[in-house]
Amino acid sequence: MRNIISIIGSLLIIALAGCKSHTQVDMIFYNATIYSVDSAFSKHAAMAVKDGKIAAVGTTAKIFELYDAPEKIDLQGKTLLPGLYDAHTHFYYYALGLREVDLTGTRSFNEVIQRVQEFSTTSKSLWIKGRGWDQNDWKVKDFPTKDSLDKLFPDRPVLLSRVDGHAALANQKALDLAGITAANKIEGGVFEIITKNGKQTLTGMLIDNAVNEVSKYIPDPSVSERFDALMTAQKNCFEVGLTSVADAGLSKKIVEFLDSLQTSGKLKMKLHLMLSADQDNLKHYLKSGPIIKENLSVRAFKVYADGALGSRGACLLKPYQDKKNEAGFLLSHPDSLRAVAQKIARSPFQMNTHCIGDSANRFILDLYHEVLGNDRHRRWRIEHAQVIDESDFKKFALNKIIPSVQPTHATSDMYWVYDRIGKERTKNAYALKKLIEHAGMIAGGSDFPVEGINPFRGIYAAVTRQDLRRIPAGGFESQNKISREQAIRAFTSWAAYAGFEEKMRGSLEVGKAADFIIIDKDIMNCNEYDIPYIKVLKTFSDGKQVF
Ligand SMILES: [Zn+2]
């Protein structure tokens, strides 16, 4: 009986194959669980791909009735999603960071020193760069000082950035090369000093704008070093299912480098590049206009309003809970932020402003409204939108401002954020659900390398508001949990919309790019604690397998 059925089946396939009405495509995936992430979040079983684009989605029977392909892949029930999109990364600096000593997860400053020592024996470059320490993870929660680095590395400059990039520890050699003394002052930043034997001395800690005063002396890596780093970064991203990323805050030189690698076909990661809003970039790009290509766009400026909560650089309406005389500060004078916003408003560019504190968020939301008037089509964004005053949420709707948020920031910061800003303000911090209610969407991101690159960790954090140890029970400020569908949209269609790319990608619909991933679990129905461990089995970009 079985044989007869299979013979009939084969005959049927032969008959269908001979049928002239079949449209030839390149690939057919069938017997799958496909979440297309279209407006209805519809589910399909089969998909046809041709010339790097989605040709059709539908039932397996329907797709085989209409299409034929040299490659037919039986997914045996596996799940297929659009390629994931991280709406706020530092992809380029993540790549370069792969050449630095990784200090994330260190449990003490001693461990930092150990890792730096080990790294220093293998690294050939003069400067030792590190990144990722967080004094909140240590027993001693004070900022470290440079003393032990000075002893170990008297002749080699060392610069170790804090996890948020808004503070760094430099040794004496690095400070000397940068010409920094205890007398130096800088607007929007601090060179930390202590009094030692009646003399003011630098501790080596640099806050906000002070970091750049040292880091700018680090020589750039060569073209081939940068190329190798980017290829590794891209490979790492494809392995976790990312096919598009937004890169927040780049110079013209880096933009041109990334553009050239993509034009030559070597770099396949799709990029929404945000320009640093410095005078050079503003002058050049406001005149020359946006660059919009199929897989790369340069149509946004990344502006900084304030710093980060971890280093108390976030600009708050009321003082910090754990430092009653400090409320943070804006990184630039309000008038200069206004001048930048006015310039960008008169151009076709998008303005994406880093705002952490409730005061920074309020100032920028009001400024956006002031310069945009009633325009609701500019898709201007607030990057992070971390602490929002209750009365300010409604302002997102006025100009349809998009909050670009990082769900893992909530579960990384939750251990100390109550100490920093208290219970009341924390209720409206990392407020994913409330932001969606007011803005209609959020763009999902990780801010990597501040967090890890794996977007499934972000989806998990958004859905559970718990860390990987399932802490806290019930979830951190659980009123701001969002649904799996919303979390997937944040990392696909909403992220694409926030980059003006929703017609090209972000969902599996006819005519859009065949950017998709095959994963080992049904993300909509698996146990929520399995979400962070979902494995990407294959990644496709423009219909070509890239992992
Ligand atoms: Zn960032």
Tokens at residue 216, please? 């700018």
How many angstroms is it from 39 CA to the middle of ligand 1?
A: 29
How many angstroms is it from 28 CA to the middle of ligand 1?
A: 38
How many angstroms is it from 7 CA to the middle of ligand 1?
A: 59
How many angstroms is it from 132 CA to the middle of ligand 1?
A: 13
User: Rounded to an integer, what distance in angstroms lies between the CA atom of residue 135 and that of residue 349?
Assistant: 38
pLDDT for residue 8: 54
How many angstroms is it from 246 CA to the middle of ligand 1?
A: 10
How many angstroms is it from 90 CA to the middle of ligand 1?
A: 6
Tokens at residue 305, please? 């309003």
For 472-497, give the DSSP string: STT-TTGGG---HHHHHHHTTHHHHH
How many angstroms is it from 74 CA to the middle of ligand 1?
A: 40
Closest CA to 170 of 122, 136, 129, 112: 129
How many angstroms is it from 88 CA to the middle of ligand 1?
A: 6
How many angstroms is it from 78 CA to the middle of ligand 1?
A: 34
How many angstroms is it from 449 CA to the middle of ligand 1?
A: 9
How many angstroms is it from 99 CA to the middle of ligand 1?
A: 19
How many angstroms is it from 182 CA to the middle of ligand 1?
A: 30
Tokens at residue 115, please? 């890792």
Answer for the pair 109, 152: CB distance below 8 angstroms, yes or no.
Answer: no
Closest CA to 444 of 301, 244, 298: 244
How many angstroms is it from 303 CA to the middle of ligand 1?
A: 11
How many angstroms is it from 450 CA to the middle of ligand 1?
A: 7
pLDDT for residue 3: 57
- pLDDT of 332-387, one tens digit each? 999 999 999 999 999 999 999 999 999 999 999 999 999 999 999 999 999 999 99
How many angstroms is it from 183 CA to the middle of ligand 1?
A: 30
pLDDT for residue 15: 47
pLDDT for residue 254: 96
pLDDT along the chain (547 residues), means of 10: 54 50 95 98 98 98 97 98 98 91 93 95 87 93 95 97 93 97 93 92 96 94 90 97 98 97 96 97 97 97 95 95 95 96 98 98 98 97 98 98 98 96 97 98 96 97 98 97 98 98 98 98 98 98 98
* DSSP-based three-state secondary structure for 399: coil
Identify residue 309 by its one-letter amino acid code.
Answer: L
User: Rounded to an integer, what distance in angstroms lies between the CA atom of residue 423 and that of residue 201?
Assistant: 37
How many angstroms is it from 72 CA to the middle of ligand 1?
A: 41
Q: Which residue has the tokens 């399932």?
A: 470
How many angstroms is it from 531 CA to the middle of ligand 1?
A: 24
Answer for the pair 286, 347: CB distance below 8 angstroms, yes or no.
Answer: yes
How many angstroms is it from 386 CA to the middle of ligand 1?
A: 12
How many angstroms is it from 149 CA to the middle of ligand 1?
A: 28
How many angstroms is it from 447 CA to the middle of ligand 1?
A: 5
How many angstroms is it from 406 CA to the middle of ligand 1?
A: 10
How many angstroms is it from 160 CA to the middle of ligand 1?
A: 17
How many angstroms is it from 248 CA to the middle of ligand 1?
A: 6
How many angstroms is it from 354 CA to the middle of ligand 1?
A: 8
- Tallying the residues shown for the chain, one arrives at 547
How many angstroms is it from 245 CA to the middle of ligand 1?
A: 12
Tokens at residue 270, please? 């799709």
How many angstroms is it from 94 CA to the middle of ligand 1?
A: 11
How many angstroms is it from 357 CA to the middle of ligand 1?
A: 15
How many angstroms is it from 362 CA to the middle of ligand 1?
A: 19
* DSSP-based three-state secondary structure for 331: coil
How many angstroms is it from 262 CA to the middle of ligand 1?
A: 22
Closest CA to 288 of 296, 278, 298, 279: 298
Answer for the pair 452, 460: CB distance below 8 angstroms, yes or no.
Answer: no
Strands 291-292 and 296-304: antiparallel
- pLDDT of 401-432, one tens digit each? 999 999 999 999 999 999 999 999 999 999 99
Cα 171 to chain centroid distance, Å, stands at 30
Taking only Cα atoms into account, the Rg of the chain, rounded to an integer number of angstroms, comes to 25
